[in-house]
């Protein structure tokens, strides 16, 4: 129905009041009629409402429905909508680790607090609203399939660089760890498409947090001298231990045998022999 009475509000008991008229319209208006097209059905329904059912006196109120509608309900009705009804799209996406939720083949950012939780999304032609347990947590403008809507305030300060693919900010972050580390990160990002190499710098900063800036600086200096721009090989170099200078002697130590025991374990429990008297033979 394009219009709705003000007396019938969107409450739980209003559903029965609206659907109670369905059997009457089905049996009294359309049953037994020969209607070939939808226009014929609409024309017949208008005639039935105005000239037939609308003039019957109600058994309880003793008023005609047409009079009741024109005097009390029609003056408070809203104007008929000029646009087509926007049917919303409901879904239940899960907030991924990158704080993105997918709705209608587009992605939207969600605050970091809700990572890993399943939210309820309502998408219409203009907005996408996200709810958690009935509470509105985020609103985005609707994006076409393949699009993204990312809000910088949804991410912590240290992760906003990753969300917006900010190459310059990532380069400055690497330079704060050390000059040599910054030069190594700049060499990693030296490409016509530096955004495709941002993950390598992420891994480099992870090595700094794991092994410390001092050790990574020494290893990066050796890697830059050899023109080695591979973060995985850099990690293996860090795992092997500190980097020795080129002129340092190589320590040579014998590995301890696996089954080597102390010499005391091989001593037999024998006592020293005492000199025997003449004519006596030792037993």
Whole-prediction pTM value?
0.47
Q: What does the block give as tokens for 127?
A: 């907005």
Chain position carrying tokens 């008991």: 13
CA angle 149, 155, 160 (to 5 degrees): 85
How confident is the model at residue 139, as a pLDDT?
Answer: 95
C-alpha distance across the termini of the chain, in Å:
124
How confident is the model at residue 271, as a pLDDT?
Answer: 61
Burial 156-176 (b: 16+ CB within 10 A, else e): eeeeebebeeebeebbebbee
Confidence of residue 4 (pLDDT cuts 50, 70, 90): very low
Q: What does the block give as tokens for 24?
A: 């009457």
Q: How many CA atoms lie within 13 A of 130 on its CB side?
A: 24
Lowest mean pLDDT among 110-119, 163-172, 200-209: 163-172
How confident is the model at residue 120, as a pLDDT?
Answer: 95
Q: What is the pLDDT of residues 220-252, one digit of tens each?
A: 998 988 888 888 998 888 888 766 665 666 666
């Amino acid at each position: 129905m394009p219009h709705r009475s003000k007396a019938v509000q969107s409450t739980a008991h209003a559903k029965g009041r609206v659907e109670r008229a369905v059997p009457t319209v089905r049996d009294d208006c359309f049953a037994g009629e020969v209607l070939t097209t939808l226009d014929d059905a609409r024309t017949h329904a208008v005639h039935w409402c105005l000239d037939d059912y609308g003039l019957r006196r109600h058994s309880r109120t003793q008023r005609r429905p047409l009079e009741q509608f024109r005097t009390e309900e029609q003056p408070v009705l809203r104007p008929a909508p000029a646009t087509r009804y926007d049917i919303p799209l409901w879904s239940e996406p899960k907030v991924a680790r990158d704080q993105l939720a997918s709705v209608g083949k587009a992605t939207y950012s969600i605050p970091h607090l809700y990572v890993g939780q399943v939210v309820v999304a309502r998408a219409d032609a203009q907005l996408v609203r996200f709810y958690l347990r009935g509470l509105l947590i985020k609103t985005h403008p609707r994006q076409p399939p393949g699009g993204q809507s990312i809000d910088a305030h949804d991410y912590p300060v240290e992760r906003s660089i990753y969300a917006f693919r900010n190459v310059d900010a990532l380069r400055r972050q690497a330079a704060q760890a050390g000059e040599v580390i910054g030069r190594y990160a700049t060499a990693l990002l030296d490409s016509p498409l530096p955004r495709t190499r941002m993950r390598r710098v992420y891994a480099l900063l992870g090595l700094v947090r794991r092994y410390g800036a001092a050790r990574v600086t020494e290893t990066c200096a050796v890697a830059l001298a050899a023109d080695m721009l591979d973060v995985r090989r850099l990690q293996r170099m860090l795992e092997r231990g500190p980097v020795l200078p080129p002129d340092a002697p190589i320590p040579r130590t014998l590995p301890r045998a696996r089954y080597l025991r102390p010499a005391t374990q091989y001593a037999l429990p024998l006592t020293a022999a005492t000199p025997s008297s003449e004519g006596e033979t030792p037993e």
